[in-house]
Structure formats: structure tokens, C-alpha cells
Amino acid sequence: MVLAQLALEFFNYFKTINTIQGILFALGLLFLVLEVFTPGFGVAGGIGVVLLVVGIIMTARTLLEALAMFAILLVVLAVMIILVYRSAKKGKLSKKLILWHAAKREDGFSSTDDASALVGQEGVALTVLRPAGTGEFAGRRLDIVTDGDFIERGTKIKIIRTEGRRIVVEPVE
């Protein structure tokens, strides 16, 4: 009997929601959904939370009603977040938000030029290498490094290996 009376009182609470409070709740939820789908600094989410809190304050007659409405709001938001998360992971949203293909070197993607063909070339150090500097190889200036050795300007050098953009040299004996 007490539970039925509590349920009846609870549904009477929703009858007290006027048009302005309904609009505030709807706009608040809309702004929260907008925050999920648009990049930003949380402005839309902040506005949404403020609108929902104002709607609760305007609708509630007692502190207990405000807390009950806040609890319901948290449940609704949790369900929305779960649905968006599932959609982002497995549903239609995942096809738009997630990059499913990797940019592999085998497929022709590369962030740097392949310098492995330079290994074995000889040139001259244009600057002092301590351990980084510039060298010239077959008329081409390149940024180079040593394995930690100090090499004077004008010294003949040889490329011993490449590691991505890093070209490692040593002096020619």
C-alpha cells in the first residue's frame, strides 16, 4: 500500500511539469547529446547540465522531489551514455568515428622517405658533427648524425645505416 502511494505521488510529480520546465529538460538533454557528437570545450555539456538543474529547481516542490528527479536524470543519462558507447563501438556510429584501416608501409603509406639506398655512400662533413650536423653526398645536403663521435668539418664520411629519418655516419679511414 505504501509503495503504491509512493508511486502515485511520484507520477503526480510529473504532472507538475509545465511547458517551460519540459522545454528546459528537452533542451538540456539535447545539449548533452550535442556535446557527445561535436568536438568542443564542454560548453554544450555545461549548458545542458545548467538547463537540467534549472528545470529540476523550477519543478520540484520539496528537496526530496528534487533529489528524486536528479536520480531519474542520472539514470536517463547513464542509459544514453551506454547506448552511445555501444553504437560507437559496434553500431553505425563506429563506421564514422573509428579508423578501421591501418596506414601500413606495405600499402604504400610512409611518414618518411626511405633512405636505406644511401647506405654505403661516401661524402664530406659540411659542419662539425657533435654528433649531429650536415654532410654532402653526391651533391645532396643531408642532416646526419654519428654514433656519438666528434667529427671535424671537411672529414670524409660514410653512411653506415639509416633509422627512419636518422642517417648515421662514420669517418672514412
The pLDDT tens digits of the residues spanning 38-94 come to 767 778 888 988 998 888 888 887 888 788 888 888 887 788 778 777 777 776 666
Its domain, for residue 146, covers 116-171
Helix (H, G, I), strand (E, B) or coil at 94: helix
What CATH number did the domain enclosing 134 receive?
2.40.50.140
Does the residue 102 lie in any domain?
no
Cβ proximity of 169 and 160 under 8 Å: yes
- 140 and 89 in a single domain? The answer is no
Cβ proximity of 44 and 34 under 8 Å: yes
- Among 22-26, 54-58, 93-97, 162-166, whose mean pLDDT is lowest? 93-97
Total domains, the chain: 2
Phi/psi at 95 (5° precision): -70, -25
- 124 and 167 in a single domain? The answer is yes
- 86 and 123 in a single domain? The answer is no
- 87 and 120 in a single domain? The answer is no
pTM attached to this predicted model: 0.44
Q: What is the rounded CA–CA span in Å between residue 159 and residue 167?
A: 7
Percentage above 90 pLDDT, the chain: 28
- 65 and 123 in a single domain? The answer is no
- 18 and 87 in a single domain? The answer is yes
